[in-house]
Amino acid sequence: MSTHEPDYDHLLRTNIERVFSERDPAQRAKVIAEIYTAEPVLLEPNDIVRGRDNISQTVDKLLERFGPDFAFVPVGQANGHHGLAHLTWHAGPKNGPVVVTGADVAEIVDGRIARLWVLLDTAS
């Protein structure tokens, strides 16, 4: 049994900064190919998205909906063990107010994201 743990912080930060905040689809596709398994699954509160291309299209729609200055920002450091990782984040216009907060929880297989649950915090 291997005791080697992947760099959970690198994987989840890269996902937030270079996938979910990346507006160039070609750049995003390269990063998705690097950090996601061949057949990843994205689980959102209202949808299940399968496959790298569909994940990229979901990000396109999300960024288009929120406008050109919207970005996701990691909060703190990701932690994980035995193939499960967690990272909190917030999002909103760059240099503007936080619009939404949440967390990503990922199943990591062979050093790549296999499944990603996007958990949104409820408004208080």
Note the pLDDT tens digit of each residue in 61-87.
999 998 899 999 999 999 999 999 999
| CATH code of domain 8-120 | 3.10.450.50
CA nearest 27: which of 18, 36, 35? Answer: 18
Angle between helices 25-35 and 52-66 (to 10 degrees): 130
Quick one: what percent of the chain has pLDDT higher than 70? Answer: 96
Going from N- to C-terminal start, the domains of the chain cover 8-120
Would the pTM count as exceeding 0.85?
A: yes
Spatial separation of the C-alpha atoms in residues 114 and 23, rounded to whole Å: 22
